[in-house]
Structure 1
Amino acid sequence: MTVAPVPSRTQYVLEEIRHAVLIGRLRPGQPLVETELAAHFGVSKTPVREALKTLAGSGLLVMSQYKGVTVRTVDAAMAREVYDVRLLLEPEALRRAVERSADLEADLGAARDALVRAAAATDPAEHSLAGGDFHRALCLPCGNPLLARMLDDLRDQAALVSAVVWAADPSGEREDAEHREILRLALSGDAQGAADALRQHLAGFVHRAFPGDGTSH
């Protein structure tokens, strides 16, 4: 029997803080104090400090010489920047994934699983996280590791935007229906149709959440 390795203290702290931010337990703008977090997790300040640096690098936290470490605040400008890049990259990644796949059911199985988890989620935050997993699973089989990594680098910021928007205005039924249609088109082998549906889905979300941005896609 193979025993899974125990996560390092830093990784454990990182994942706990990340999850707390993305489900709204730690709120945008909330300060994070190393000594308090170390006492909470029962570790020294070193793994906490490293975890905070990593999460700041991923865009979830902000490190300031004057304010210390705080949870990143989501505003319209930040959301549009993140979604502008997603609009450029995600539909192309999905188009490539569908075109190159020899077994769409297998390659997109994780996306289907994420939809099942979203449907079973009991609160908006967990539903939003499952939605993020769905988007990631669509793009991973694109065949370009650099493209997949670029999208992964945006993952936490996109999840933070989604979590904040969902906390204010849950839209589960609409999101689920759009996700199902994207997956249906992808599984049918319609690469361009799936990419177009994904583009409309992303653009629609940011326009509903932050109307009046004056951009067009």
Structure 2
Amino acid sequence: MPSRTEAVLDAIKHAILTGELRPGQALVETELAERLGVSKTPVREALKTLAGSGLVTMSLYKGAAVREVDRELARCVYDMRLLLEPVAAGRTTSVARGDWAQAASALERADRAADAAERSMANRAFHRALYAGCGNPLLVASLDELRDQTALVSSAAWSRQPSWEQEADEHRAILRAAEDGDADLVRRLMRGHISAFMARNFPENEAE
């Protein structure tokens, strides 16, 4: 990806994850290009990439818009994570292929984050360090495809109910278990971590 397009992509993603670009808001290429001081071409390419990762929706008639977050989206994303991530993290731990130093560094970045976008992306880096060494590239690719949508869901949830301190404590417990080589505990803690986020932020009995 050309560096200018990558910079535009990062800028738009940051604006989405901080809520500066609101859920459902139209993303007009000319307006974004003027705002970012670039031509429409890198904006168009960035929007295509963001649509592919699930942060943006594209309509033939309405154009691009920030994806809206509701319980159904959160349920779909977190159901997939619940099925895949505890298994991948457990396998990474059992074969001792995890980069625990990278995971710890990601937790430090999350603690120092200036906004929800930085914190959410640091959290995604932590989770990737836990699952990337599982030995199954298809499993890793499936979880990688969920990273941006997970960031979108978590940022939306935090805007209503900041819960990152509790999640940070859960992350530290998972990392300690991984460092100890306890794959069964990593699986249990990861499953509980993902389930608890949904229970806190998108309970089944919550009104739409």
TM tier, smaller: over 0.9
1:154 is the counterpart of 2:146: yes
Q: CA 1:30/1:43 → structure 2, altered by over 3 Å: closer, same or farther? A: same
What is the TM-score with the length of structure 2 in the denominator? 0.92
Assess if the C-alpha contact under 8 Å between 2:14 and 2:117 holds in 1. no
Residue 105 (structure 2) aligns with:
113
Say which SS state the counterpart of residue 79 (structure 1) adopts.
helix
* Structure 1 residue 22 displacement after superposition: 1.4
Residue 127 (structure 2) aligns with:
135
Instruction: Name the count of aligned residue pairs.
Output: 206
* AA at the equivalent of 2:146: L
* Structure 1 residue 132 displacement after superposition: 2.0
Larger deviation: 169-178 or 185-194? 169-178
1:64 is the counterpart of 2:41: no
Assess if the C-alpha contact under 8 Å between 1:124 and 1:170 holds in 2. no
Assess if the C-alpha contact under 8 Å between 1:128 and 1:166 holds in 2. no
Say which SS state the counterpart of residue 18 (structure 1) adopts.
helix
Of residues 36, 43, 60, the one that matches 2:31 is 36
Say which SS state the counterpart of residue 170 (structure 1) adopts.
coil
Residue 177 (structure 1) aligns with:
169
Residue 73 (structure 1) aligns with:
68
What is the TM-score with the length of structure 1 in the denominator? 0.89
Assess if the C-alpha contact under 8 Å between 1:28 and 1:73 holds in 2. yes
Q: Deviations over 1:16-48 (max 9, x none)?
A: 111211122211111110011112222221221
Say which SS state the counterpart of residue 133 (structure 2) adopts.
helix
Assess if the C-alpha contact under 8 Å between 2:18 and 2:115 holds in 1. no
Distance 1:171 1:41 in 2: 32
RMSD over equivalenced CA pairs, Å: 1.8
Residue 192 (structure 1) aligns with:
184
Assess if the C-alpha contact under 8 Å between 1:207 and 1:213 holds in 2. no
